[in-house]
Each structure stands twice: as structure tokens, then as C-alpha cells.
Structure 1
Amino acid sequence: MSAPVVVLVGPMGVGKSTVGELLAARLGTAFRDSDADIVAAQGRPISDIFVDQGETHFRELERAAVRAALAEHTGVLALGGGAVLDASTRELLTGLPVVYLTMEVGEAVKRSGLNTARPLLAVNPRQQWKLLMEARRHHYTDVARVVVPTDDRTPEAVVEAVLDALRLKRVPAQEADQSDDPGTPGDPGTPGKEKQV
């Protein structure tokens, strides 16, 4: 059965897409984002789906998109911030090399200003972010093999921490852009064992 070489989870704005693209380049593999899959399939932004059809409908689309990506994609996969809320998604993530990218609210403010382009942060974004994290943190932790803080780290430093934590074979940085080598995972450690790096 095929599966992604790395699955990135974490709150909105933590940098899953940025880190995921860099990580895929270092591994000589492809990057995929489940939120981008939804946008492409629906032909409109996620914020519009929330407004027009509600969060419940979006979560149904998300569940299907994540299931498809986990079944089809063998590179680096980033999941939307709320994907772990679904019990069936958490079950599918069992035993996979899942990395939880963390950040504190102060870092979230620095990075995105918690702007209202995020549908779940439209009212009192700082407080909403804290409430979302209280509801989701344990799910992130439960599915993660490793936890990588991103506060005060460049995306490149986060990538190195992920590679080290999962003991993945790298494509040398200077060759990452030209290489067709898919990269091979090393010993990713014991499934279910979570560590912070």
C-alpha cells in the first residue's frame, strides 16, 4: 500500500505549505496540499465554501480530499488545519510519518496578523485561534510521530528538523531542484512514538 513519505499537520498559518514544498524538494519528491485539492475541485476559495454552504459541508469535502490524497500520494502531504477533527481521518493517519508543526499565538500574530481571510478567525481572531487550538491540539498530538516547533525558526530550519526527526534521506540542497531521485525514507522510528525536536 502506498502512503505519503511525510504528512504535515498543524494550525492554520503555521507554514505547512511552505515547509512542505521545501521538504519535498529536499526529498526529491512531490508536494500535495489537501486544501489546494479542494479549491481545485470546487473552483472557488475555501472561505466561499464556508460562507455559501457552511463548515459541515466543507468538512465532508475535506474528509474525502484527505482520504484520496493519503491513498494516492507518495510524496509530502500537507493537511488543512481542521482535518484532524475527523475521527476517520485520524484513523487513516495511524502509523504514518505524521509531523505536527506547532506555533504559539504570538508567532501566529507575527506571521499572519490573524487576518480575516481565514473563515474561522473572522471575529476576534486572537481569541478564536486560541479556542481552535484548545479544541485541536490533542488531536494533532495524538496523530503525530514527531512534534516540530516553528517559532523563531526559518522554514529551512524547520525542514532540517523534520528530516532529522524522521531520519529521512536528503537530496543535497544544491541538487534538490534538478534531481529526479524520489528519495527513500530511512528508519522513521517506532510508529506512534512522538518526540519533539
Structure 2
Amino acid sequence: MSTGSNEATRPRVVLVGTMGAGKTTVGRRLAERWGVPFRDSDHDVEEREGRSVSDIFVDSGEAHFRRLEREAVAEALSGHDGVLALGGGAVTDESTRALLAGHEVVFLRVGLGDAASRVGLGVSRPMLLGNVRGRIKQLIDERTPVYESVAVHVVETDGLDVDQVVEQVLARLEGSRG
């Protein structure tokens, strides 16, 4: 991708989806395939704060985490030229959704069964406190329309392994450039 002096550095692709969709795993594999850096907005927040997302939620609250997340996503969208995976709730912020306009956003859609088996008991996931399966279903139901609204492409991940999902993402991206 060319980056002229007037053109901002931007991610090659932005992956969105609920927890268990495989954003981080697929994102890392895509970055390896392309030979570009991988970045995860949750990791960026953890690095900046020096503590885990779970600790931020517990100690400082969701609103504080969402502010940090919004800043991390904005920074990555304007300065990262590789593969970017967003935390599952990042798209719930209106300003983040606005910033995603014009980017190659891929929604990795996952069903309840696959999401629950990939996430497990969710002990490190603050949004899953309580009934894990019920909470995953609620998050999928609430957020799917939002993911769909920001996505340029949708890839169904159920029943696929990482390499199959990567191939689906690549096919969508190549199809839109061809």
C-alpha cells in the first residue's frame, strides 16, 4: 500500500466481532501471511495502563476502559499499517464507528456454540461475569447489528479452523479489490 505524504497510514484490514470470533488469532495469521505488523486494541490498552482489561474493568470501571479503548483504536486507525483487531465492544462507541468509515472492516461472525467453546469459562473476560453462555448470547444479539453496520465484509467462522477463516478473509478482500 502506498503512503504518500498526504495519505495517512492506515490498517490493511480491521477485524471486528464478538469474543470467540477469532479476531486475534486470525489477525496474527493474516499479518504473518502479508509480512505486516499485527495490533490488538485490547493489548494496546493493557500496555498503556500496565494492567489487564479485567483489572481495568474491576478497579476503574467499564466507562474508564471504554475511554482508553476509544483512544487506542483512534490511534491505531490513523497510525498502524498492518492488521488491526478491535476488542469486542469497541464498536459500541459511536465515535469509533465513525472512524471506521472508509476502512476495510471484516466482521468475523461466530455463533453461540462456537463462541462458547472458544471462550471457555471466560474467567479473564470481564463482560462474561455470571452465566457465561447466556452473556455471550446477549452480547452476540446486541452487537451483531453494530458489527454488520461497520463491516465491509462478513466472514462466517463457525466450524472453520484458523486457516480456513484466513482464506475466507483473503478471498473477500481480494474480491473487493478485483
TM superposition score category, shorter chain reference: over 0.9
2:78 matches 1:71:
yes
Which residue does the alignment assign to 2:12? 5
Percent identity of paired positions between Structure 1 and Structure 2: 53
Which residue does the alignment assign to 2:107? 100
Give 5+ residue unaligned stretches, structure 2. 1-7
Write out per-residue CA displacement over residues 29-87 of structure 1, whole angstroms, 9 at most, x where no aligned residue. Answer: 11111110011111110000000011001000000000000011011000000000001
| CA–CA separation in structure 2 for the residues paired with 1:80 and 1:57 | 15
TM value normalised by structure 2: 0.92
Task: Give the alignment partner of residue 64 of structure 2, picking from 43, 47, 57.
Answer: 57
| CA–CA separation in structure 1 for the residues paired with 2:84 and 2:62 | 22
For 2:101, the aligned partner's letter is: T
Which residue does the alignment assign to 1:124? 131
Q: Secondary structure at the match of 2:61?
A: helix
Task: Give the alignment partner of residue 145 of structure 2, picking from 135, 138, 148.
Answer: 138
For 1:4, the aligned partner's letter is: P
TM value normalised by structure 1: 0.83
Aligned-residue offset at 1:188: 3.2
Give 5+ residue unaligned stretches, structure 1. 169-186, 190-197
Task: Give the alignment partner of residue 159 of structure 1, picking from 166, 169, 176.
Answer: 166
Aligned-residue offset at 1:113: 2.0
Q: Conserved in 1, the CA contact under 8 Å of 2:112 and 2:140?
A: no
Aligned-residue offset at 1:114: 3.8
| CA–CA separation in structure 2 for the residues paired with 1:89 and 1:115 | 25
Q: Conserved in 1, the CA contact under 8 Å of 2:128 and 2:135?
A: yes
Runs (4 or more) in structure 1 with deviation over 6 Å come to none
Q: Conserved in 2, the CA contact under 8 Å of 1:5 and 1:74?
A: yes
| CA–CA separation in structure 2 for the residues paired with 1:114 and 1:65 | 27
| CA–CA separation in structure 2 for the residues paired with 1:142 and 1:188 | 20
| CA–CA separation in structure 2 for the residues paired with 1:116 and 1:98 | 28
**For the aligned residues, what is the CA RMSD?**
1.3
More helix, by proportion? 2
Aligned-residue offset at 1:15: 1.2
Aligned-residue offset at 1:132: 1.2
User: Aligned residues, how many?
Assistant: 171
Q: Secondary structure at the match of 2:127?
A: helix
| CA–CA separation in structure 1 for the residues paired with 2:99 and 2:32 | 25
